């Protein structure tokens, strides 16, 4: 049987306030001399289409820019706005917060492999050493995310990502090293060794 290859797209979330970083734009922070946004775009290089949720800036790769409405609605609202901005509905969606500095193309490939390998799975997400799921570092079936969407757009603003994906069947993918570490504080950034 000749099967079409799965279409992978990505939503990169950059629109957070960076409150614990003194309001600094996380996407512009450099780790190892590379902006966090460029690191996220590199990590999602296998995606045919990338939507970035945040304010437009110059990038090394062509992306589609969008924002949740109203802005500041939180990561779930941003993720749903990203889904709405795709030109074509993909099969799989890599969801990545811009502050996941250690996620690489190999990480995304492991997540894709994990969700595709389990016929009952709706998603695969990174899990740190303490067992905490990073729901903003995962690969989801597009249809599963669309089905999880609240019935009313009014319910999207302020919705927690864990509430959005809470009913999905998620495969845990153990992180290698610091893959699952995000950058919420300057101490987090120092912990990454930069």
Q: 86-131: per-residue pLDDT in tens?
A: 998 899 999 999 999 999 999 999 999 999 999 999 999 999 999 9
Strands annotated E in 37-117: 49-53, 64-66, 92-97
Q: What is the C-alpha to C-alpha distance for residues 194 and 113, in angstroms, rounded to an integer?
A: 30
Residue 154 pLDDT? 78
Q: 50-95: per-residue pLDDT in tens?
A: 999 998 999 999 999 999 888 888 899 999 999 999 998 899 999 9
pLDDT at 24 exceeding the cut of 80: no
pLDDT at 1 exceeding the cut of 70: no
Q: What are the structural domains of the chain? A: 8-191 (3.90.550.10)
Mean pLDDT (the chain, rounded): 89
Q: What is the C-alpha to C-alpha distance for residues 8 and 76, in angstroms, rounded to an integer?
A: 20
pLDDT above 90 covers a percentage of the chain that reads 69
Band of residue 36 on the pLDDT scale cut at 50, 70, 90: very high
Let me know if 131 is exposed, middle or buried by CB neighbors in 10 A (0-12, 13-18, 19+). exposed
């Amino acid at each position: 049987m000749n099967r079409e290859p799965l279409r992978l797209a990505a939503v990169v979330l950059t629109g957070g306030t960076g409150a614990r970083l003194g309001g600094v734009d996380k996407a512009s922070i450099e780790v190892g001399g590379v902006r966090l946004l460029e690191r996220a775009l590199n990590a999602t290089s296998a995606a045919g289409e990338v939507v970035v949720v945040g304010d437009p800036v110059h990038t090394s790769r062509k992306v589609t820019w969008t924002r949740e409405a109203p802005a500041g609605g939180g990561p779930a609202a941003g993720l749903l706005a990203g889904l709405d901005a795709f030109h074509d509905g993909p099969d799989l969606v890599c969801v990545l917060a811009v502050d996941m500095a250690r996620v690489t193309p190999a990480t995304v490939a492991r997540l894709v492999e994990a969700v595709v390998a389990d016929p009952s799975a709706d998603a695969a997400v990174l899990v740190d050493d303490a067992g905490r799921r990073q729901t903003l570092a995962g690969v989801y079936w597009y249809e599963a995310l669309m089905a999880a969407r609240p019935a009313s757009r009014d319910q999207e603003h302020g919705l927690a990502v864990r509430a959005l994906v809470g009913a999905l069947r998620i495969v845990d993918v153990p992180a290698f090293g610091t893959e699952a570490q995000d950058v919420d504080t300057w101490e987090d950034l120092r912990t990454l060794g930069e």
